[in-house]
Amino acid sequence: MKTLVWVEHDNNAVKDATLAAVTAAGKLGEVHLLVAGANCAAVAEEAAKIAGVGKVHLADNPAYEHALAENVAPLVADLMGHHDAFVCPATTTGKNIAPRVAALLDVMQISDILSVEGDKTFTRPIYAGNAIATVTSSDAKLVITVRGTAFEKAETTGGSGTVEAVSGPADAGLSSFVSSEIAKSERPELTSAKVIVSGGRALKDADTFQEYIIPLADKLGAGVGASRAAVDAGYVPNDYQVGQTGKIVAPEVYIAIGISGAIQHLAGMKDSKTIIAINKDEDAPIFQVADIGLVGDLFKIVPELTEKL
């Protein structure tokens, strides 16, 4: 089987989310990549070095700069004439593009796969991760999105892919990019952080969140997350949210502070290697999944912990 993997990038560098998709695609067959963007030749060069990669298709066109689905989906659909499976990381970019490609190909997409069980058989979470379905496709071609935390990341070196320029359809003229507000931060991104410190509603307000969570995260070089309750209460922006409706993370260590452990939240972090929970309610559901728990007042515990680390 020949696969085509969507390379997630910012026109400068390959994003980590790509690497898990490469691993998933490698379980299906030959791995080809698509780098679609503007002035993104350097991305293609970098992508060609990913272990296990064959051909890298480079579609360099101003119309592809912001990965607008209206423009890139027809490009992918064209390339699928020579490929058997389109494999996309389940990022907001991938989730936006892949179904549009699937419909153009008259294929039923398989979303958010957790494992590859056969040529056309996969497992995927349903009901917010409360159940795992095993599904088999009967379509001639596959369109798949890949949950990043479910697959190892492919090595970024060792590959010797060849870059080949491809051209595709021009700007569809249906949509245009206006602006973006991307939080600039020195911190590791949540989806790639080794350690995450996450705060919940018990943090009380935005100031105390900053005062208690941030110094501990700084000390550990950790990413910062939050529960939906903390986001809805306005302690931190939306993109901090870990959970079924936010980001799905699986760091080495996840430290949940003042988070009770609603199903919604657990769905986003229960695949973390080690979970540490600090909560004053000893019956909080978070302790049922935590490897290490400490019951007590976070406003006393967290400063002491930050100091002693």
Partner 1 sequence: MKILVPVKRVIDYNVKPRVKADGSGVDLTNVKMSMNPFDEIAVEEAIRIKDAGKADEIIAVSVGPAKAQETLRTALAMGADRAILVETDAEVEPLAVAKILKAIADEEQPGLILLGKQAIDDDSNQTGQMLAALMGRPQGTFANTVELDGDSVMVKREIDGGLETVKLAMPAIVTTDLRLNEPRYASLPNIMKAKKKPLDTKSPADFGVDITPRLTTSNVSEPPVRQAGEKVADVDALVAKMKALGIA
Q: How far is the CB of 194 from partner 1 (least distance, A)?
A: 8
Q: How far is the CB of 160 from partner 1 (least distance, A)?
A: 30
> What x/- string results for residues 46 through 75 when contact with partner 1 is judged by CB under 8 A?
--------------------x-xxx--x--
Query: Is 258 known as a binding-site position?
Result: yes
Residue selected from 12, 162, 167, 175 as contacting partner 1 according to rule CB under 8 A? 175
Residues ≥6 apart with Cβ < 8 Å to 45: 163
Q: How far is the CB of 64 from partner 1 (least distance, A)?
A: 14
Structure token digits, residue 99: 């179904």
Question: What phi and psi values does residue 170 have, to the nearest 5 degrees?
Answer: -80, 180
Query: Is 210 known as a binding-site position?
Result: no
Q: Does 250 bind partner 1 (CB under 8 A)?
A: no
CA distance 93 to 213: 29
> Interaction with partner 1 in 183-222: which residues (CB under 8 A)?
183, 189, 191, 194-195, 220
Side-chain-side CA neighbours of 176 within 13 Å: the count stands at 2
User: Can you say whether residue 179 is alpha, beta or left, with left for phi > 0 and alpha for psi between -120 and 50 degrees?
Assistant: beta
Q: Does 93 bind partner 1 (CB under 8 A)?
A: yes
Nearer to partner 1, 52 or 293 (CB): 293
Residue selected from 111, 149, 198, 260 as contacting partner 1 according to rule CB under 8 A? 111
CA distance 305 to 309: 6
> Interaction with partner 1 in 112-141: which residues (CB under 8 A)?
112, 121, 125-139
Sign of torsion, CA 3 109 111 46? Answer: positive
CA-based R_g, the chain, Å: 21
Q: Are 246 and 231 in contact (CB under 8 A)?
A: yes
Residue selected from 63, 229, 253, 298 as contacting partner 1 according to rule CB under 8 A? 253
Binding-site residue positions:
201, 227-228, 241-245, 258-265, 279
